[in-house]
Structure 1
Amino acid sequence: MRPVKKIVYALPASVLFVTLYSLGREGNFSGEAKDGFLHTLASDNSASEMMHITDETLEHGSIIVAHQPPQTRKSRVVFVSRAQIKPIRYVNRPLPDPARLYKEANPQWMSWGPRLREVRDYFRYLRTPQVNCRKLKRMGGEVQCDRSGDGEGMDGHKYICMEPAFMLTQNQGDVRECLTLSFGTHFETSFDEVMADLPCEVHMFDVLDYRPLLAAVNPNVYFHQEGIAAERRVDIYSNSNATAQMFTLREHVSRLNLTNRLIHVLKVDIENSEWEVFKDIANDPIFNAVGQVALEVHTLDLVKDLNTSWSKNVPKEEWLQVTQAKFDVLRAIEARGFRRVLYWDNYQRAYPYFDDTGARYETSGEILYINTNWYDPAFRKRLADQGYEFRDVLQRY
């Protein structure tokens, strides 16, 4: 595919010209515009009547993107060539194909199927990024003297994608324009503090009632002694002699009067209960309103009862059952349009897993998922039509 060579503003500011070196007669049409994203364009009459840029095509032409008045939130694109003027409709912004990119860098890599063949495939899957974020930022974290955490001694931090689609940098000081839900804070609130400084409205949740100082001193931070689960219930914690009310994500949103507000960041660090929770979330329409997920995942089942020698006496098929169940949940998250930007191991000396070859794997790690649907103006418009609040400037993004 040949890149876009230049952009000229020959019409009013609301009209954008993108000039291309080559255009085909039939097929798909896609190219890169000024914002750096690949654009796919389809005919107003039929999505199959599109044009495709290839190295073999020779015709020179232009694309005109004419933005309609702000009230309509629509764009109209017109293809212009020497021979014809053809109306084009904006379809979507596809992200790079991670399978193709990874296979080019790793010739032995094979596409993921629905079933894992080896336990090690699960960890290899986690460590394979699916998409790229061009502006990652580390949020919070503290240095650990025992070098636990990310291997460099940092723990408690998350990475967040700061690209414009996720609306974390253009809120102009209004905390209602950014919402973070943080499940499983325990005593580590550095992530929540940085998110509050963006600024964001931050709701922290934990089953322990320890009254974090951050919620007491920052009026935009709230603490709730509640947990998240796949159903409403009361959990009893024998090690702390405490009980906690558990709600689904949808119930939390409703009870806190956050309905129809976008959840810009959903942080979940709930010590191996994330699998039950995301089975529920991945099947709930409310997941569309989540921009990105900072998720800690665990495979402590591989060291049953936290006994590292357990796996030595267990059939390989049972190991696979453990990882396959978790793999299925992660694939359900992906089915909703989320893609993994990065993963890193959380090193804990007491709970490593060793497979049948003696290779070591960490039984907890951190994932950042981004909702790729948020790059799609048509998807965002559907959310707005459902009552979700968008800032005007970003509805035109």
Structure 2
Amino acid sequence: MILKASDFTMSSKLRLMLSAWACLVLFVVLGGHTALLQPASVAYRNLQHTPGISRNTESNSSSRGRLKNELEYFELLGRTSGYCRKLVTFGGSSCRRLMDGDKQVCLDDHLSMPRKDCLVYSFGAGYDVSFEDELIDFAGCELHLYDPTTNATGFIESEDKINFHKIGLSDSDKIIMANDTRKSFQLLPFDKVLSQNGHLGRTIHYLKIDIESSEWEALPYMLEKGLLDNVLQLSMELHSNFLIYPSEKWMEVLQRQHDILLSIEAIGFRKISYRENMNMAGFIKLPYEEDQRPCCGEVLYVRDPSSLGHVSVI
């Protein structure tokens, strides 16, 4: 069953204003050519549940092992390995019938969020915190929002309930400089973030990562250190930035990303859904494809109940 969070909570005037602002930004970025963004018709399906797999056992599926070509990477992204009976969409703003910023949450019994006793981490805010606001309204979780590039306190509706940190996520403690503005940004690894908040070892009911390609830097460290072992749901926007490399490096980059995603499933996560993000300005085109495809997609992984307590490996 697919539900919208608005079935539970009310939208606000502020969210409508942010939606209109997002449309204006997209219009300016695309030089007025908003027709480049094609309306997405996303069909959600409840898929047959795949039993838990052993990390030491090879699957007969072609999703294991080496990729044959670049296209197979994207085909496998769309394959799910689990299902959710109560899949709910929270947040999002619309522009020309396109949604962006919305995230899916599974509310099946073993993943339920105990009201006022749940913990959520969200990395990447931009200028749309509708997901965080709606989730707070619904579950009343302790929610920590991280983004080094913006001051989200200016447009958070639930400012008294959302803890905002002007810090980014990475695989180490470091300061980086933006090439265009020369601004500096502080980045921290996930274990240091958890330690600062006194949350090491606590169950994290939902972890959102939308950090503009930096997920491929942060995830290997998180897997190696076992930092996903206490996470029940993992929602990410995956970015395909392999085209910035010489063509002879494409398969190496995509194979690494594929291996990282397989490692997530190896510790007991199941892929519930993958949705191409049609509301992005960036599209990619493989040499042997006629049509372009979005550069980004939304993926949701949830814990198989039998996997809790597994040790991470990569």
TM class by shorter chain equals 0.7 to 0.9
| 1:125 has 2:76 as partner | yes
Q: Distance in 2 between matches of 1:165 and 1:326?
A: 29
Which residue in the other structure is 2:240 paired with? 299
Taking a change above 3 Å as real, the CA distance of residues 359 and 139 of structure 1, as seen in their structure-2 partners, is: same
Q: Distance in 1 between matches of 2:222 and 2:108?
A: 24
Task: Determine helix, strand or coil for the equivalent of 2:285.
Answer: strand
Out of 76, 80, 88, which is 1:137 matched to? Answer: 88
If asked which structure has higher relative contact order (CA below 8 Å, sep 6+), I would say: 2
Which residue in the other structure is 2:38 paired with? none
Out of 183, 195, 201, which is 2:142 matched to? Answer: 201
Write the letter of the residue equivalent to 1:159. Answer: Q
Identity over the aligned pairs, expressed in percent?
27
- 1:135-180: CA deviations, max 9, x gaps? 10001000023xxxxxx50000110111111131x42xx2xx1111
Out of 264, 267, 271, which is 1:333 matched to? Answer: 264
After TM superposition, give the deviation of residue 134 of structure 1 in Å.
0.7
Q: Distance in 2 between matches of 1:301 and 1:111?
A: 22
**Structure whose CA Rg is larger:** 1
Task: Determine helix, strand or coil for the equivalent of 1:272.
Answer: coil
Higher strand fraction: Structure 1 or Structure 2? Answer: 1
Task: Determine helix, strand or coil for the equivalent of 1:288.
Answer: coil
Consecutive unaligned residues of structure 1, counting only runs of 5 or more, are 1-94, 100-108, 146-151, 306-313, 384-397
Are the aligned partners of 1:272 and 1:298 in contact in 2 as well (CA < 8 Å)? Answer: yes
Which residue in the other structure is 1:281 paired with? 222
Taking a change above 3 Å as real, the CA distance of residues 271 and 163 of structure 1, as seen in their structure-2 partners, is: same
Q: CA RMSD in A?
A: 2.6
List, as ranges, runs of 4+ consecutive aligned residues in structure 1 with deviation greater than 4 Å.
214-217
Aligned length: 256
After TM superposition, give the deviation of residue 215 of structure 1 in Å.
4.9
Write the letter of the residue equivalent to 2:92. Answer: G
Which residue in the other structure is 1:356 paired with? 288
- 1:192-211: CA deviations, max 9, x gaps? 10111121111111012424
Which residue in the other structure is 1:96 paired with? 50
Which residue in the other structure is 1:67 paired with? none
Are the aligned partners of 2:91 and 2:131 in contact in 1 as well (CA < 8 Å)? Answer: yes
Write the letter of the residue equivalent to 2:293. Answer: Y
Which residue in the other structure is 1:166 paired with? 111
Taking a change above 3 Å as real, the CA distance of residues 119 and 215 of structure 1, as seen in their structure-2 partners, is: same
Q: Distance in 2 between matches of 1:161 and 1:199?
A: 16
Task: Determine helix, strand or coil for the equivalent of 2:253.
Answer: helix
Residues 67-78 of structure 1 correspond to what in structure 2 (within 5 A)? none
Out of 344, 366, 383, which is 2:275 matched to? Answer: 344
Are the aligned partners of 2:126 and 2:150 in contact in 1 as well (CA < 8 Å)? Answer: no
TM-score between both structures, scaled by the size of structure 1: 0.60
TM-score between both structures, scaled by the size of structure 2: 0.75
| 1:322 has 2:253 as partner | yes
Are the aligned partners of 1:135 and 1:162 in contact in 2 as well (CA < 8 Å)? Answer: yes
After TM superposition, give the deviation of residue 110 of structure 1 in Å.
5.2
| Deviates further, 251-260 or 127-136 | 251-260
Taking a change above 3 Å as real, the CA distance of residues 158 and 319 of structure 1, as seen in their structure-2 partners, is: same
Which residue in the other structure is 1:260 paired with? 201
